[in-house]
């Protein structure tokens, strides 16, 4: 039995023999039992369910408080210790992504063994439909939000000066990885509990050379505010409002994601038209 382990950009499927004996597949499914709450993924608008899961994973202000305490303690660390911490957080995100991938591979094998054939709804992050139009949208957001970005840098100066934006981006990857795993568990439940339904497969996002997730502009707008608890407009927050620091962090993370996406779109447009795009 062959399992699809990767798909190239041109659609070519990379397969390898299933290494797990069929008799052990059910045991593997049990071993990968969900440890998180169920995810309510709607077929019509699956991203809404993903965003809801990310919002719930924040656990209210507990997540913000945890980040504050960690960053406060890390300010006095030597650079190598900070790098190790960021690497550890990124490793955790990678483990969650691989957990989701492993769950999908085992589910593929179980469905093949039982002769179950279901239509798939595959949702990919960061799809490029119109690079030029999205670049224009990002530039507009950049122009409108430049003042807010500068204010956010001032409000979270200690985080910026110590280079902890990379830590926040890594923490964001952990949330995304956790949701990937949750969706993989939900896919298993739907396939065997409601075999008439289509499979829902949430792919992990691509990343740039620095490990930053490559999301589309609309995905950044929907997901980053949900994860970091930004539910109000920055300009409406008084300077002494405790929510201002939280939103400042979200703006800084969004800035990193926007910049990574812009570079991806520029490269895509340059490749498509065979010329340099600035």
Question: Is residue 207 domain-resident?
Answer: yes
Kindly give the pairing relationship between strand 120-123 and strand 2-7.
Answer: unpaired
**Digit-coded pLDDT (tens) for 84-104:** 888 888 888 888 888 888 888
Q: Which of 15-24, 105-114, 117-126, 184-193 has the lowest mean pLDDT?
A: 15-24
Q: Which of 13-27, 40-54, 98-112, 192-206 has the lowest mean pLDDT?
A: 13-27
Answer yes or no: is pLDDT of 34 > 50: no
pLDDT of res. 185: 79
Is residue 143 domain-resident?
yes
| Contact (CB, 8 A) for 223 and 215 | yes
Q: Residue 75: pLDDT above 60?
A: yes
The secondary structure of residue 20, as a DSSP letter, is S
Cα gap 46→198, rounded to integer Å: 12
Rounded Cα gap, residues 203 and 9, in angstroms? 14
pLDDT band at 200 (very low <50, low <70, confident <90, very high): confident
In the chain, the N- to C-terminal Cα span, in Å, equals 48
Q: What angle do CA 249, 207, 253 make, to 5 degrees?
A: 5
| Stretch 245-266: mean pLDDT | 88
Task: Give the burial class of 41: count Cβ atoms within 10 A of its Cβ; 0-12 exposed, 13-18 middle, 19 or more buried.
Answer: buried
Q: Is residue 94, in this structure, part of any structural domain at all?
A: yes
Interatomic CA distance for residues 273 and 276, integer angstroms: 8
What token pair was written down for 19? Answer: 């290494």
In a domain, residue 27? The reply is no
pTM score = 0.77
The pLDDT value given to residue 18:
42
Tell me if 39 is assigned to some domain: no
Chain centroid to CA 108: 23
Give the position of tokens 């798939």: 120
- Number of structural domains (the chain) is 1
Which residues sit opposite 4 in a β-bridge?
15
Token pair of 137 as six digits: 């949208």
Task: Confirm whether 14 is domain-assigned.
Answer: no
- In whole numbers, what is the pLDDT of the chain averaged over residues? 75
pLDDT at residue 133 greater than cutoff 90? yes
> For position 277, what pLDDT does the model report?
47
Those residues with Cβ within 8 angstroms of residue 28's Cβ, 6 or more apart along the chain or in another chain: 20, 106
Mean pLDDT over residues 238-249, rounded? 78
Rounded CA-CA distance 253/212 in Å is 10
pLDDT band at 10 (very low <50, low <70, confident <90, very high): low
Helices (H), 156-242: 157-161, 165-193, 217-227
Would you put residue 115 in left (φ > 0), alpha (ψ -120 to 50) or beta? left
With beta carbons less than 8 A apart as the criterion, state whether 217 and 258 touch.
yes
Instruction: Report if residue 21 sits inside a domain.
Output: no
The larger pLDDT score, comparing residue 244 to residue 256, is at 256
130 in any annotated domain? yes
Strand segments, DSSP code E, in 13-107 are 13-17
Give 47-67 pLDDT, tens digit per residue.
Answer: 777 777 777 766 555 666 667
Residue 134 has pLDDT above 90, yes or no: yes
Full residue range of the structural domain in which residue 100 is found? 46-273
């Amino acid at each position: 039995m062959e399992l699809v382990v990767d798909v190239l950009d041109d659609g070519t499927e990379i397969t390898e023999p299933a290494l797990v004996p069929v008799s052990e597949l059910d045991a593997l499914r049990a071993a990968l039992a969900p440890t998180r709450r169920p995810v309510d993924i709607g077929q019509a608008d699956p991203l809404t369910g993903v965003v809801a899961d990310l919002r719930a994973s924040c656990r209210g202000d507990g997540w913000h408080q945890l980040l504050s305490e960690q960053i406060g303690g890390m300010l006095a660390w030597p650079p190598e210790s900070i790098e190790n911490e960021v690497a550890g957080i990124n490793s955790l995100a990678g483990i969650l992504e691989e957990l989701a991938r492993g769950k999908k591979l085992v589910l593929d094998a179980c469905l093949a063994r039982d002769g179950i054939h279901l239509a798939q709804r595959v949702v990919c992050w960061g799809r490029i439909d119109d690079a030029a139009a999205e670049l224009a949208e990002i530039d507009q957001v950049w122009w409108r939000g430049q003042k807010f970005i500068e204010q956010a840098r001032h409000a979270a100066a200690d985080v910026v000066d110590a280079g902890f934006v990379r830590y926040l981006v890594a923490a964001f990857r952990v949330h995304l990885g956790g949701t990937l795993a949750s969706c993989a568990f939900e896919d298993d439940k739907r396939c065997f509990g409601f075999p008439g339904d289509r499979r829902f497969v949430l792919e992990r996002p691509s990343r740039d050379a620095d490990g930053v997730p490559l999301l589309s502009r609309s995905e950044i707008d929907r997901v980053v505010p949900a994860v970091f608890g930004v539910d109000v407009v920055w300009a409406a927050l008084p300077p002494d409002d405790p929510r201002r620091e939280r939103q400042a962090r979200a703006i800084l993370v969004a800035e990193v994601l926007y910049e990574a996406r812009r570079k991806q779109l520029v490269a895509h447009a340059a490749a498509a038209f065979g010329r340099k795009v600035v």
